[in-house]
């Protein structure tokens, strides 16, 4: 009997914990869910007083699933599809957001993250495997560099950009400049994460391969790299999401419309559509969706890199 009540209590407790966690998840996702809902409403339903959660009410009933008035008006105005023969689906997306800004962000994030992985991998390997004097100081210095606030750097980079532009150099207001800035911003933490990952690979494995007659380059390519690959992938994904989500650097450093990243585009879009909430919501959903999907598929990598970076850094 005692055993029975004990198991009952334990099961009840488990149910309680599950219920609490489910409630927390719902609360945490509430803002996201409401935004997704708004993006599928018609303008008349968005600007109702008092507001309604689901656009499903009729004069007689407050919720009638058959009378829902869902709409894709917001998405239409973001994407602005026009019939066209040259596009695969028979229509072209003429909205600036998806014609210019998102491809820009994709390019910046991919190139900059690849560079971050390459540089952080090299530096992390050097610090983890070669015990030269001063490497602790070097790592501390790399961490200290992250202490310079983003806006402080941008202040100077903006001024440098102004000077460069005045001098007529092609570097400012160009893709090279912003990619370099992104690489510099996300490199320090990545070096720390990479060092952690290389530290976790046992040196004995490499020594064994050396004794068995592998060359040093062979050891790097055949032993170390395959083992470090998940870590490097994690660094890539973390940098990619961070650069995708970065707003203020792109906003301050880029002036030409054709070079703007997606977040800047969203901000522009906001000022043009300040009253059309369904359009803003649709733009938010469209820009946030790719990284959310990326995260859902590669969450283990993200968690690994974040714990590594936070505990060491």
Partner 1 sequence: MRLYLLSIGTQRVQPSVPNQDRAGVANNPKFWPGQLRQTAHRGLRVWLRHSLPFWLLLPTLIVLGITQVYPGFYTLWLSLQTRQPEGWEFVGTANYARLFNMRLFAESVGHTIVFLVGYVLVTLGAGFGIALLLNRKLRLSGLYITLLFIPWVIADIIAGLVWRLLVVPDYGLFSGILQNPALFPPNGLSILTAVPPRPWLGDFPFPPAPAMVYLILASAWRALPFIVLLMLAALQTIPTEIIESSRIDGANRSQVLRFILLPLILPTLIVALFSLTLSGMNGVGMVFSLTGGGPGTSTEVLSHLLYSIGWGQREFGRAAALAMIIAVVNWLLILGTLRVTRLNG
**Binders of partner 1 among 17-36, rule CB under 8 A?**
17-18, 20-22, 24-25, 28-29, 31-32, 34-35
Q: Name the token pair of 156.
A: 């100077």
Q: Does 263 bind partner 1 (CB under 8 A)?
A: yes
Q: Does 248 bind partner 1 (CB under 8 A)?
A: yes
Of 69, 61, 28, 81, nearest in space to 278 by CA: 69
Nearer to partner 1, 91 or 302 (CB): 302
User: How many residues bind to partner 1 according to rule CB under 8 A?
Assistant: 101
Of 234, 198, 197, 304, nearest in space to 206 by CA: 198
Shortest spacing between CB 99 and partner 1, in angstroms: 20
Of 261, 260, 278, 279, nearest in space to 269 by CA: 279
6, 44, 76, 159: which one contacts partner 1 (CB under 8 A)? 159
For every residue of 59-89, DSSP letters joined together read SS-S--GGG-----HHHHHHH-EEE-SSSTT
Shortest spacing between CB 140 and partner 1, in angstroms: 6
**Binders of partner 1 among 91-150, rule CB under 8 A?**
119-120, 122-123, 125-127, 129-134, 138, 140, 142-150
Name the maximum alpha-carbon separation found in the chain: 87
Q: Does 287 bind partner 1 (CB under 8 A)?
A: yes
Of 243, 242, 249, nearest in space to 161 by CA: 249
38, 79, 232, 234: which one contacts partner 1 (CB under 8 A)? 38
Q: Does 203 bind partner 1 (CB under 8 A)?
A: yes
Q: Does 51 bind partner 1 (CB under 8 A)?
A: yes
For every residue of 156-200, DSSP letters joined together read HHHHHHHHHHHTT-TTTTSHHHHHHHHHHHHHHHHHHHHHHHHHH
**Binders of partner 1 among 170-199, rule CB under 8 A?**
180-181, 183-185, 187-188, 191
Query: How big is the chain, counted in residues?
Result: 313
Nearer to partner 1, 50 or 168 (CB): 50
Q: Does 299 bind partner 1 (CB under 8 A)?
A: yes
Beta bridge partners of 81: 93
Nearer to partner 1, 68 or 92 (CB): 68
Nearer to partner 1, 233 or 306 (CB): 306
Angle of CA points 53, 59, 64, to nearest 5°: 55
42, 252, 268, 276: which one contacts partner 1 (CB under 8 A)? 252
């Amino acid at each position: 009997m005692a055993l029975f009540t004990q198991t009952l209590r334990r099961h009840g407790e488990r149910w309680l914990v599950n219920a609490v966690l489910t409630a927390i998840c719902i609360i945490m996702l509430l803002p996201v869910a409401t935004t997704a809902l708004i993006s599928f409403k018609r303008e008349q339903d968005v600007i109702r007083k008092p507001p309604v959660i689901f656009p499903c009410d009729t004069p007689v009933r407050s919720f009638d699933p058959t009378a829902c008035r869902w709409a894709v008006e917001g998405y239409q105005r973001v994407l602005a599809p026009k019939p066209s023969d040259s596009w695969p689906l028979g229509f072209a997306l003429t909205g600036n957001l998806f014609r210019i800004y998102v491809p820009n962000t994709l390019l910046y994030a991919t190139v900059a993250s690849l560079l971050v992985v390459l540089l952080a991998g090299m530096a992390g390997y050097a610090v983890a495997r070669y015990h030269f004097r001063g490497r602790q100081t070097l790592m501390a210095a790399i961490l200290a560099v992250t202490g310079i606030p983003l806006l402080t750097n941008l202040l100077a980079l903006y001024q440098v950009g102004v000077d460069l532009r005045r001098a007529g150099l092609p570097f400012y207001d160009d893709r090279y400049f912003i990619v370099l800035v992104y690489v510099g911003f996300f490199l320090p933490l990545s070096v720390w994460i990479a060092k952690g990952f290389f530290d976790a690979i046992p040196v004995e494995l490499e020594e064994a391969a050396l004794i068995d007659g592998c060359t040093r380059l062979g050891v790097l390519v055949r032993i170390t790299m395959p083992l470090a690959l998940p870590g490097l992938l994690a660094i890539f994904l973390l940098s990619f999401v961070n650069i995708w989500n970065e707003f203020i650097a792109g906003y301050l450093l880029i002036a030409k419309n054709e070079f703007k990243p997606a977040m800047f585009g969203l901000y522009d879009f906001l000022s043009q559509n300040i009253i059309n909430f369904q359009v803003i919501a649709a733009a938010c959903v469209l820009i946030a969706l790719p990284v959310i999907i990326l995260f859902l598929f590669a969450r283990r990598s993200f968690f690994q890199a974040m714990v590594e970076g936070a505990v060491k850094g």
